[in-house]
Amino acid sequence: MTRPRVRCGGFTLLEILLAMSVLSVILLLLISAFTGAARVRETLSSKAREFRQIRLVLDRVGTDLMCAFAVTVRAESGLSLREEELSGLPAATLTFTSFQLPDGDTGHPPAEIVKIRYFPRIGADGVTLELHREQSDLPFVENKIPLRESRVATGLRGFRVEAFDGTTWAEEWPASGGTKTTLPKKIAVTMVDERGETYRREVPIHLAGQEGSVTWSGRRSAGKQ
């Protein structure tokens, strides 16, 4: 009489291969989930950085423009605006004179009047734009103070500026038939980020219409304007 065959403990090769296949699928799903979460986090962080950069630039341009002025006896004090294209992207250049409090830079004398220019350049990647801000201190006084230039934004797909004369918006200023020292009622600044999202801010020019009555000196002295 033969003994019945007794099965030894353990798993067959087929069972092991099946378990490994299931485990591989689970690991693949987990890796995909973690990778997707990391990608979403990076995307959100990138958007936050871009939004913060544009918000800071729009705030700074707005602060500069709200103190903009021009005087009829100084043609060079007028606001000028022109729009061009760089690598097919809208690239405006905005120049104006503005009142400004001293910024605490010990390398430059305190000045209440500055000439400011915002202009774009092609970025290091050769595709997007960089926005630069140039400041000239005491522009109506002969001096050898060097210009101060700083890069305020990168990765832009466009920088547009429009001037409002009370009736229509224009991409060039002075308007046709207008004088060099006439200020627009408003300036609209539009920035396009690397993802193509558009941000726009309209800034009122408080001293528009007062070009013949603005009191200016071009120099700050103790206790006096």
pLDDT in tens, 125-165: 999 999 999 999 878 777 777 889 999 999 999 999 999 99
Instruction: Supply 119's token pair.
Output: 């202009």
Please report the pLDDT score of residue 40 as a whole number.
73
Whether 165 and 175 have beta carbons less than 8 Å apart is answered as yes
- What predicted TM-score, i.e. pTM, was given to this entire model? 0.76
Question: What is the C-alpha radius of gyration for the chain, rounded to an integer number of angstroms?
Answer: 30
For residues 191-214, average pLDDT: 91
Return the number of other C-beta atoms located less than 10 Å from residue 223's C-beta: 5
Question: 3-state SS of the chain: helix, strand, coil percent to 5?
Answer: 25, 35, 40
219: pLDDT confidence band, cut at 50, 70 and 90? very low
Whether 152 and 134 have beta carbons less than 8 Å apart is answered as no
Please report the pLDDT score of residue 61 as a whole number.
96
